Amino acid sequence: MEQLTLDVGIKEYNINGTAVLRFNPADPNLYARYIASIDKIDAVEKEMQKKAQAIDENSPTFVKESCNLMAEADAKVKEVLSETFGNGNDFDKIFDGVNVMAVAINGERVIANFMNLVGPLLESGVTSFVDKQVEEKKLNRQQRRAMAK
């Protein structure tokens, strides 16, 4: 059987030396999923906060219930990330086992740091895609005009 290799623009990004994140930063479909994922992740966080308010702080199981709630939110957010960036990315490995709802050294949630890291890559990639489309349209117009003369 012959093999065909199709360039789909996938780039690989080494994350903290522990895992690789793969995606095409110029893919407008990915950018649309990324934008939609922000609302989905916010919804998971709001749901987690609402459930956390219902946990009795004086209960002997408070810590366990809180940790279970964080684990549930972590799984949901990583599912959203898989839907967004593709199932080929192992987000447990990418985050090195860290719960995405945990707070990082900079005071932000780990998921916020991730989204802030990849967002500019996607914006830049989609901008270059759009710029290329505009340039191709200009070139096509120039060619049509030259042929019409």
- pTM here is 0.83
**Sequence-ordered alpha helix ranges (H) in 1-149:** 28-53, 62-85, 91-94, 110-148
Residue range 62-75, pLDDT digits in tens: 999 999 999 999 99
Instruction: HSE, CB side, 13 Å, CA atoms: give it for residue 15.
Output: 20
Instruction: HSE, CB side, 13 Å, CA atoms: give it for residue 62.
Output: 8
| Rounded percentage of the chain residues whose pLDDT exceeds 70 | 89
State the pLDDT confidence band at 148, using cuts at 50, 70 and 90: confident
131 vs 39, which has greater pLDDT? Answer: 39
> Which one, of 138, 75, 137, lies nearest residue 101 by Cα?
75
3-state class (DSSP) for residue 55: coil
CB-based contacts of 33: which residues, under 8 Å, 6+ apart?
A: 83, 84, 85
CB 73 within 8 A of CB 45: yes
Residue range 44-98, pLDDT digits in tens: 999 999 999 999 999 899 999 999 999 999 999 999 999 999 999 999 999 999 9
Range of lowest pLDDT (11-15, 86-90, 125-129)? 125-129
Q: Domains of the chain: which residue ranges?
A: 11-148
pLDDT at residue 127 in the model: 83
